[in-house]
Amino acid sequence: MTAQPSPELRVSGLAHAFGPRAVLEDIHLHLPAGRTLALVGPSGSGKSTLLHLCAGLLTLRDGRIANGFARTTMLFQQPHLLPWKSALDNIALGLKARGMARGARLQAAHAMGRAMGLDELALAQFPPQLSGGMQSRVALARALVLEPDLLLLDEPFSALDIGMRQQTHRLLLAEQQRRPLAVLMITHDVMEAVALADQVLVLAGTPARLRWRLDLAQPAARRDDAWVHRQTARLLAQPAVRAAFDLPPLAHGVSPADAHSPADPGTGVAVGGQARIAGDGCEVAL
Ligand X SMILES: Nc1ncnc2c1ncn2[C@@H]1O[C@H](COP(=O)(O)OP(=O)(O)OP(=O)(O)O)[C@@H](O)[C@H]1O
Binding residues (CB under 6 A) for ligand X: these are 18, 23, 41, 43-49, 188
What are the counts of helices (DSSP H) followed by strands (DSSP E) for the chain?
9, 10
Angle at 158 between CA 153 and CA 159, to 5 degrees: 130
User: Which of 45, 261 has the CB closer to ligand X?
Assistant: 45
CB of 46 to ligand X, least distance (A): 4
Q: How far is the CB of 74 from ligand X (least distance, A)?
A: 14
| Whether 28 contacts 13, CB under 8 Å | yes
To ligand X, the closest distance from the beta carbon of 22 in angstroms equals: 10
* Choice between 117 and 207, CB closer to ligand X: 207
Largest CA distance in the chain: 65
Nearer to ligand X, 38 or 106 (CB): 38
Complex with ligand X: residue 106 or 183, whichever CB lies closer = 183
**57 versus 221: smaller Cβ distance to ligand X:** 57
CB 188 within 8 A of CB 197: no
Q: How far is the CB of 43 from ligand X (least distance, A)?
A: 3
Shortest Cβ 47–ligand X spacing (Å): 4
Residues 6+ apart with CB under 8 A from 40: 47, 186, 187, 188, 189, 190, 193, 200, 201, 202, 203
Relative to beta strand 21-32, strand 8-18 is antiparallel
State the nearest-atom distance from the C-beta of 245 to ligand X, in Å. Answer: 12
Cis peptide before 207 (omega within 30 of 0): yes
| Residue 23 vs 233, nearer CB to ligand X | 23
Q: Pairing relation of β-strands 267-270 and 209-215?
A: antiparallel
